[in-house]
Chains A and B, each alone.
Chain A
Amino acid sequence: MSKIQYSNDGNIKHLLTIEGLQEELIYKIFDLAESFLNVGNREIKNVPLLRGKTICNLFFENSTRTRTTFEIAAKRLSADVINLDIDSSSQSKGESIFDTVDNLISMGADIFVVRHPEPGMPELLAKHVGGNAHIINAGDGNHAHPTQGLLDTFTIKKYKNRFDNLSVAIIGDIKHSRVARSEIHALTTLGVPDIRLIGPTDLMPTDMSKINLKIFESMDDGLKNVDVIMMLRIQKERMIGAIIPEEGEYSEKYGLRKKHLLLAKKDAIVMHPGPMNRGIEIDSDVADGQQSVILSQVTFGIAIRMAVMSMLIGKNI
């Protein structure tokens, strides 16, 4: 899967998944994102790096936050941005996604940011476009959401400096979460020794047996002495057919409350990819509390997406 992400000369060409990305490349993305963070602190936040380039946001699922951060990232790089409203586009008239993409390439599109309910669709598009454009996966079904995985691990680096001594707990519906999947691959590549998954047994992944993961059904057991608490949103739209507890029961067992923070290390950070279901998977006093870094994740997300777009267009370092 990951081979298609690289061109023959070893440069990254598409970002489809974190699985298989080299650790060195992830750190290069982090270094670049750090530079872009500084740009974000200036009065004029735009740099002319991608001037003349066109970035198309192709979102086949609803998203406000991710699409907006990609759009801001592209605009800060001075690229032209096209947001395709899929509902009112040719797709609804029966045109295939491949035809849509071909047409946009003919119009000069350089990068496609794709969110699609079908796992693997960004990879199919990457194979289809070849060297004519770059694909960034902004979430495909329950498969991957690589920029979220990168921004989450970048956030951890910003607060914890290193990865090789950390205990990280991911809580919620891991099975249906592309965010969790990307986080797990990133954390593994970066050498986190203790990755814990907390949630109902039915919502644990069944296809990650090669990765050393510790599974917990209880928050009280799983959160002991962790450095990082990564909450996940309940994904009602992806839980069709899943045997899940009723929402109230789920919230009772797996909602993050202030009392849980006492189990973790004193300086543990709380993360959430958003949007949050306050009062269900996370209480407001935790989401807005001192240990929460949720809004930093959003800020860092722009820098990470700027870094990824620049690396895809530019010859790698």
Chain B
Amino acid sequence: MIDPKNTLPDPILLIKKMAAELSKEIDSNTCLIGIPKGGHLIINELKGMLSSSTLDYGLIDTSFYRDDLEISGLKVKEMTTDVMFNIHDKKVILIDDVFYTGRTSRAAINELFDFGRPREILLYVLIDRQSAQLPIKPNYSAFQVSPKKNNYINLEENNKSLTFRTKIINE
């Protein structure tokens, strides 16, 4: 199993790297949409790091757009989709903690189109596991790692500090 302390960098450092990249990308037509729960935690940090005051922030919970209902079931999330602004013709930057198979990103992109027709969709993640099962790749990843398939990684908040949690899951 990956030891998060030895292998994975401090999430805040990665979010700072992401913020630096984002600031080059953001224009007056950009919005950031996080994929819960990791993307939500990242956006909370980014709000303090990005100087733009006109940026719209949203959340997109992909539960109802996934392709694995009969395999993994339906997970009831604490956070549901919250896109309270018009995304038509916007540059949407999706934010997630970990990019793995690409299926969550696919579901998020599909869901976005139910809200309008964005001009452009970009995907920014903290970690790219480099194991995509679909022709989707993040436009930006702050860190790349190739753990075993059953090593699960996600971003969590513990005592108000962000950490990467890893665990072995049954395949």
Contact = CB atoms under 8 A, between A and B. Distances in A.
Best-surrounded residue of B61, B64, B73, B75 (most CB of chain A within 10 A): B64
Main SS of the interface on chain B?
loop
B81 A38 contact: yes
B76 A28 contact: yes
Interface range on chain A (Cβ under 8 Å from partner) = 20 to 34
Contact of A35 (B61, B71, B111): B61
B73 A314 contact: yes
Contacts of B148: none
Contact of A49 (B69, B75, B114): B69
A259 interface: no
A35 B73 contact: no
Main SS of the interface on chain A?
loop
Contacts of A315: 69-73
A125 B80 CA distance: 36
B2 to A, nearest CB: 27
B74 interface: yes
B119 interface: no
Contacts of A86: none
Contacts of B167: none
A313 B75 CA distance: 13
Contacts of A38: 80-81
A310 B73 CA distance: 9
Contacts of A314: 69-70, 73-74
B100 to A, nearest CB: 20
Interface of B: 61, 63-66, 69-77, 80-81, 110-111, 114-115
Interface of A: 11, 28, 31-32, 34-36, 38-39, 42-44, 46-50, 310-311, 313-317
